[in-house]
Amino acid sequence: MAEIVLATESKGKGVPVEGKEGVFHVECSGTGPQGEVVTFESEVVMTDDGFTETGTIDYAGRGSIKFENIGWDTWRQVRYRG
């Protein structure tokens, strides 16, 4: 699989999911390197060993990436939809 490099500056928040201990819903938005609107949404589940995260990054309607982040620094692209 080819490496993907993402360069964005985003701001947003993560809030606890009601009724699910250790689970957070994260929403952010910002701009990409060429000024395009980028939105980021994910669910983070805290575990004894770190966390898992699944989500989507959308590039101004030009395409999106679904991803999983396992642990502290391991990213895996799940699917690209252009």
55 pLDDT band, cuts 50/70/90, is: very high
pLDDT tens readout for residues 21-50: 999 999 999 987 778 899 999 999 988 877
Distance of CA 24 to the CA centre of its chain: 12
Contact 42/70 with Cβ under 8 angstroms? no
Is the pTM higher than 0.85? The answer reads: no
**Residue with the two structure tokens 């939809």:** 81
Q: Output the pLDDT for position 74.
A: 54
82 pLDDT band, cuts 50/70/90, is: very low
Domain layout of the chain by residue ranges: 9-81
Average confidence (pLDDT) over 5-12: 79
Residues 6 or more apart whose Cβ sits within 8 Å of residue 23: 16, 17, 43, 44, 45, 46
- CA 58 to each of CA 12, 20, 53, 54, 68: distance values in angstroms, whole numbers, following the listed order: 15, 26, 16, 14, 15
